[in-house]
Amino acid sequence: MFLSSFFLNLYTPINKLNIAKIFFFLFLVSLFFPIRYVFPTKEAFQTGAYSDFTSISLYLSDIFLFLTIFFTFSSRGGVNLPRGGSLPPRGMMSWAWSKIKDYGLWILILWLILGLILHFSKIYGLNWWFFLKYMELIVAYGTTRYLFSKTVIKQQFFSLFLFLSSFQAILAIWQFVAQKSLGLGKIGEQLLSPSIIGVAKIVSSETTYIRGYGTFPHPNLLSAFLVVGILISVYLLTNSTKLYQKTLITLALFVNIIGLTVTFSRAGLLAAGIGLAIFFGLLIMENWGVHKRVILTSIFLITISCLAPFLIFKPYLQTRATVTDQASLERVFYAKTAWKMIKQHPILGVGIGESVIHMQQYSLIKLWPWQIQPVHNYFLLSAAELGIPGMLILIWFFFLHLKKLVVSIKNQVLSGDKELTTYYMLLATFFSFLILMQFDHYFYTLQQTQMLLWIFLGIIASETRLLKTKTPHPPTGGGDLFL
């Protein structure tokens, strides 16, 4: 009887949604540990050697995301039901999709389908894979929004994210000190050594040092997660009331800043600086008198946390204080190559996922396999592959989220028991992403940062929807899935 009751309760709507939350947290954890299976396809070696940018992989995070979606949008329940308590005959998934009002997503989907149709004569398996990946990102966005709208998940999510980013920062620091990998290959760590070609390095005093990777494919990806971790830590710090909480969060902030430092990502350091400036600037503008003590304390802690790494790693950081190094010159080269693609294919682009394959075709010099990479700019890359209209659709979609955040903050439409620091943190994170997008491609090309971007878009959509309806707590009735 006990087991029967347990399993019956497990499949009630509220418990099923709790299961979805568990898998969503496992999905978040799996983003920090990129365990995957790489399918043996010819596209993976299309550039002359194996390339992550042309390979097809199944990640553990894909599996956890699918399970999250399954338990969230099961046709037998698992989400709050429409008024009346029963589902339409077509099932929950059909009902949910019928509620979509975000036409930007529909236009993006239609544009991607049009690109597949018009490129059909030269279609690659890679095109289909990138199309499916876009669909997965859109569903991840909608699922995140729904869970944040319907459940109490926000603080748990941010706390878990900060814990995971701190753990990754510790790994990165350890790797930099040891100057080798830590034997964590089974959970995604790269094989690292100053002598291995292709490993990201800096050169200081004629000595080569590897940069901190954590378990990510490149230090720049890690830097994006650490930037978010830093912004989350200051958000939690300004809202914590107990001494032990402040102590733990301050320690996490310090660790994340040092971790970001040993990635030696210039864009990451710039994005973190701008994000912190936005967060505290908004906090000061809101009510300096009320938050004066919290602001001054937080700024003092951040200053100390930044000063120590700067003094310790100053000789190494000086090697990155240039825009004429090889990495900067390569970014200029990739941008020029992308412009050639855009000029020749301004409407539909060269095809989704194909810019790397065509890189040699648009280059005036012979490229070695390791030199063939996507253009290091999110919007140039999207224009090269999806055409200028595709790029504009994405910009429009991002702008709508930014606009909703700004309008919500400006009008202060939150109910009385709500605080604005969540929205300051989200706005600071969004601008940090925009900064990072100008200098790298990973928000467009690689699993972990692709998901990071669309998850936070989903969080923004959820928070601004709640602001719009002035609902202080998760609603009990049905609602729209997307914006």
Predicted confidence (pLDDT) per residue in 18-64, tens digit = 889 999 999 999 999 999 999 888 888 887 788 888 889 999 999 99
Residue 14 pLDDT greater than 70, yes or no: no
What is the Cα gyration radius of the chain? Answer: 23
Ranges of H-type helices in 73-218: 92-98, 103-118, 125-150, 154-178
Spell 207-222 as b/e; 16+ CB within 10 A means b. Answer: eebbbbbbbbbbbbbb
Written as six digits, the tokens of 298 are 């937080």
Give the list of residues 6+ apart from residue 111 with CB closer than 8 angstroms, or none. 386, 389, 390, 393
Q: What is the pLDDT of residue 267?
A: 93
- Range with the largest mean pLDDT of 158-167, 312-321, 336-345, 455-464: 158-167
Residue 477 pLDDT greater than 80, yes or no: no
Q: CA 380 to CA 388: how far, in whole Å? A: 9
Q: What is the pLDDT of residue 136?
A: 95
Range of weakest confidence among 251-255, 390-394, 473-477: 473-477
Average pLDDT along the chain: 83
Written as six digits, the tokens of 365 are 């010099």
Looking at the chain, the number of H-run helices and the number of E-run strands are 15, 4
- Range with the largest mean pLDDT of 76-80, 171-175, 367-371: 171-175
Written as six digits, the tokens of 300 are 């003092």
Mean of the pLDDT values across residues 145-156? 89
Q: What percent of the chain has pLDDT over 90?
A: 47
3-state secondary structure of 348: coil
Q: What is the pTM of this model?
A: 0.87
Ranges of H-type helices in 35-124: 60-72, 92-98, 103-118
- What separation in angstroms does the CA of 291 have from each of 238, 285, 287? 9, 10, 6
Residue 114 pLDDT greater than 50, yes or no: yes
Residue 368 pLDDT greater than 70, yes or no: yes
Per-residue pLDDT band for 128 (boundaries 50, 70, 90) equals: confident
Q: CA 448 to CA 45: how far, in whole Å? A: 22
- Range with the largest mean pLDDT of 142-151, 279-288, 292-301: 142-151
Per-residue pLDDT band for 328 (boundaries 50, 70, 90) equals: confident
Residue 278 pLDDT greater than 80, yes or no: yes
Q: CA 196 to CA 214: how far, in whole Å? A: 17
Burial class (CB in 10 A: 0-12, 13-18, 19+), 350: buried
Per-residue pLDDT band for 291 (boundaries 50, 70, 90) equals: low
Residue 312 pLDDT greater than 90, yes or no: no
The number of beta carbons lying within 10 Å of the beta carbon of residue 412 is 11
Mean of the pLDDT values across residues 410-427? 72
Mean of the pLDDT values across residues 332-352? 90
Q: CA 261 to CA 309: how far, in whole Å? A: 7
Mean of the pLDDT values across residues 246-259? 93
Mean of the pLDDT values across residues 179-183? 94
The number of beta carbons lying within 10 Å of the beta carbon of residue 65 is 26
Give the list of residues 6+ apart from residue 161 with CB closer than 8 angstroms, or none. 28, 228, 229, 232
The number of residues in the chain equals: 483
Q: What is the pLDDT of residue 120?
A: 64
Per-residue pLDDT band for 102 (boundaries 50, 70, 90) equals: low
Q: What is the pLDDT of residue 410?
A: 76
Per-residue pLDDT band for 287 (boundaries 50, 70, 90) equals: low
Element (H, E) at 336: helix 326-344
Q: CA 165 to CA 144: how far, in whole Å? A: 19
Q: What is the pLDDT of residue 2?
A: 41
| Residue bearing the bigger pLDDT, 322 or 436 | 436
